[in-house]
Amino acid sequence: FSERSNNTRVVAGTNDLKKGGTPYFIDRFFNYDNCSTMLMHENIFNFPPNDIALIRLTTPLKFNERVQKIEFTAETVPENATLTLTGWGEMRNGTIPTKLQTINAPSIGIDRCRAIYNEILVNNGTICSLSKRGEGACMGDSGGPVTWKGKLVGIFKAVHKKG
């Protein structure tokens, strides 16, 4: 699908929801099925494993010291690699943070991932991590970046119900 947006904005260049940054209006949302095949990664499968969309802004981002491109790598993430997850998801007490949250978590192998997250569809393109109970990604973090060695390796998708 492709859908216009009149009210949704992206704010770039800040890690604080209450101040700073430059707002950019979203022109259109694109479901990945409507994206050019040139933008498609070979590991994008059918819904639901990759229920993501791209956005087109009304004006291009202005890159500076606080707004930077990130390099994507298709390199296979090994077990026990330190992944960095970043997001605005709920805190332990259910509140939304005003500052962008970041956590490092070790990656785990696909077999262990399937054993732990058995209620979630885990395909071979999935990168899994494990954090301590009460820590890690939460509701609202979906769509956030997952990085390894400073490069984008994925987009955060799901959280285990048991915390």
Q: Is residue 109 part of a domain?
A: yes
Pairwise CA distance, residues 159 & 82, whole Å: 18
**Which two structure tokens, joined as six digits, stand for 107?**
């990656």
- Cβ-contact 155, 146 below 8 angstroms: yes
Q: Which residue do the tokens 């569809």 mark?
A: 121
Asked if residue 151 and residue 90 are part of one domain, the reply reads: yes
**Which two structure tokens, joined as six digits, stand for 39?**
């933008």
Going by their DSSP bridges, the two strands 9-12 and 82-87 should be labelled as: unpaired
Q: How many CB atoms lie within 10 A of CB 51?
A: 12
What CATH number should be reported for the domain holding residue 97?
A: 2.40.10.10
Last residue of a domain, one of 11, 41, 57: 57
Q: Is residue 128 part of a domain?
A: yes
pLDDT in tens, 114-143: 888 765 667 777 888 887 776 777 777 888
Q: Is residue 133 part of a domain?
A: yes
Q: Is residue 115 part of a domain?
A: yes
Structural domain of 27? 2-57
pLDDT at 1: 46
Q: Is residue 35 part of a domain?
A: yes
Which of 101, 27, 90, 35 lies closest to 59 in space, CA to CA? 27
CA angle 12, 15, 17 (to 5 degrees): 85
Q: Is residue 69 part of a domain?
A: no
Q: Is residue 77 part of a domain?
A: no
pLDDT at 135: 74
When divided into structural domains, the chain yields a total of 2
Q: Is residue 162 part of a domain?
A: no
> Who's near 22: CB < 8 A, 6+ residues apart?
11, 12, 13, 62, 67
Asked if residue 86 and residue 34 are part of one domain, the reply reads: no
pLDDT at 70: 94
Block mean pLDDT (10 aa), the chain, length 163: 68 94 89 50 44 84 96 93 91 88 91 76 79 75 90 80 46
pLDDT at 7: 76
Q: Which residue do the tokens 């209006």 mark?
A: 25
* pTM metric for this prediction: 0.77
* Cβ density class 25-47: b for 16+ within 10 Å, e for less: ebeebbebeeeeeeeeeeeeeee
**Which two structure tokens, joined as six digits, stand for 156?**
């955060």
